[in-house]
Amino acid sequence: MDDQALLRYSRQIVLPEVDIEGQERLLAAHALVIGAGGLGSPVALYLAAAGVGRLTIADADSVEISNLQRQIAHRQLDLGANKADSAVMAASELNPDCHVTAVAERLEGESLRHAVSAADVVLDCTDRFSSRYAINAACREAGKPLVSGAAIRFSGQLAVFDPRQPQAPCYACLYPPDDVGDEALSCAESGVIAPLVGVIGCFQALEALKLLSGAGQVHQGLSTFDGLRGQWRHFQVPRDPACPVCAQP
C-alpha cells in the first residue's frame, strides 16, 4: 500500500482485528455480487469503500423509477441503464482504486459456475428462490463461501454458508427445494421499507469483509430482523443429512 491507501483505509487498519495484513488481504480479494438492487447496492458500495480489490457485479435488469426509493447505488440519471453498469459506476466513483466489473446479464449455468469459481466470496443479493438455489449449488461445487440476504416488507434475514467447513449447512438445508416453490414475495407486490435493505445489505458486506480479511468470527446460523419491533433473532441451522445439494455421498 502507498501513502494514499494507508490514509484511505486508516480507520480499518487501526483495528487490531484487521491491521495492515487484513487490509492487504482485502485489497487482494475478489467478491462476486449477484444482484444490484436493494441489497446489492449497499453491498457493492461498502465493499468498494472498504478496499476489496476486485468486485464483479451481475444484474440483467434496468433501473426503474420505483427502484430509487431503496436501491442507493442508482440515481435519477441512471433510469433505463443496466443495474450492474450503474452500480459499477457508483462503486468506481466511491473508490477508483477498486477494480469493478459489470456483468449485464443473468448469471446461470456455465457462466454462473465460472463467475463463482473466480471469486473469493459470493454475495447473493437476488430475490428469486430459483436464483438462490442455483447460486448455492455453484458455491457448494466450487467450495466458495456464500453470504445470503433477503428483505421484504419490514423483515429481513441473513445467513452465511461456508462449504470449506466440514459440517456447514447450505441454503438448501435451510430451505429444502421440495418445500419451497418459486412464488417468492416481491417488493412490487408486498412492499419494502427503504432502510431495511440497507440494514441487511450492510450485514452482508460486514460478513464478507470478515471472511476476506480474517477478522473476527464469521456469522453462524440464520439471523432474522423484525424492523417493526427492532428485534433480531438467531437460529441454528444444522446440516441436513438428506440435503440434495450437500449431503455426503
Residue 173 falls in the annotated catalytic set? no
Per-residue pLDDT tens for 77-90?
A: 999 999 999 999 99
Per-residue pLDDT tens for 203-237?
A: 999 999 999 999 999 999 999 999 999 999 999 99
Are the CB atoms for 88 and 57 separated by under 8 Å?
Answer: yes
Q: Is residue 241 part of a domain?
A: no
pLDDT-derived band at 190, boundaries 50, 70, 90: confident
Per-residue pLDDT tens for 127-183?
A: 889 999 999 999 999 999 999 999 999 999 999 999 999 889 999 999 998 766 555
Rounded-to-integer distance, Cα 145 and Cα 211, Å:
8
The CATH number assigned to the domain holding 92 equals 3.40.50.720
Catalytic residue (choose from 98, 139, 173, 187): 187
Domain count, the chain: 1
| Of the candidates 84, 79, 88, the residue with the CA atom closest to the CA atom of residue 60 | 84
Whether the predicted pLDDT of 186 surpasses 70: no
What is the distance, to the nearest Å, from the Cα of residue 124 to the centroid of all Cα atoms in its chain? Answer: 5
Q: Is residue 166 part of a domain?
A: yes
User: pTM value?
Assistant: 0.94
pLDDT-derived band at 191, boundaries 50, 70, 90: confident
Rounded-to-integer distance, Cα 42 and Cα 48, Å:
10
Q: Is residue 245 part of a domain?
A: no
Whether the predicted pLDDT of 184 surpasses 60: no
In degrees, to the nearest 5, what angle opens at C-alpha 41 toward C-alphas 36 and 46? 130
- Which range of residues forms the domain containing residue 49? 3-235
pLDDT-derived band at 247, boundaries 50, 70, 90: confident
Residue 139, CA distances (Å) to 27, 143, 211 in order: 22, 6, 15
What's the pLDDT score for residue 193?
95
pLDDT-derived band at 185, boundaries 50, 70, 90: low
Which stretches of the chain are DSSP H helices? 3-8, 10-13, 19-27, 40-50, 83-94, 109-118, 129-142, 171-174, 187-190, 194-213
What's the pLDDT score for residue 177?
86
What's the pLDDT score for residue 248?
66
Rounded-to-integer distance, Cα 174 and Cα 246, Å:
12
pLDDT above 90 covers a percentage of the chain that reads: 90
Q: Is residue 170 part of a domain?
A: yes
The mean predicted confidence, pLDDT, of the chain is 94
Q: Is residue 194 part of a domain?
A: yes
Per-residue pLDDT tens for 27-37?
A: 999 999 999 99
Written as one string, the DSSP assignment of 26-51 is HHT-EEEEE--STTHHHHHHHHHHHT
Are the CB atoms for 107 and 58 separated by under 8 Å?
Answer: yes
Rounded-to-integer distance, Cα 169 and Cα 157, Å:
16
pLDDT-derived band at 1, boundaries 50, 70, 90: confident
Q: Is residue 242 part of a domain?
A: no
User: Who contacts 32 (Cβ-Cβ below 8 Å, separation ≥6)?
Assistant: 56, 58, 115, 116, 118, 119, 121, 122, 123
Q: Is residue 106 part of a domain?
A: yes
Whether the predicted pLDDT of 48 surpasses 70: yes
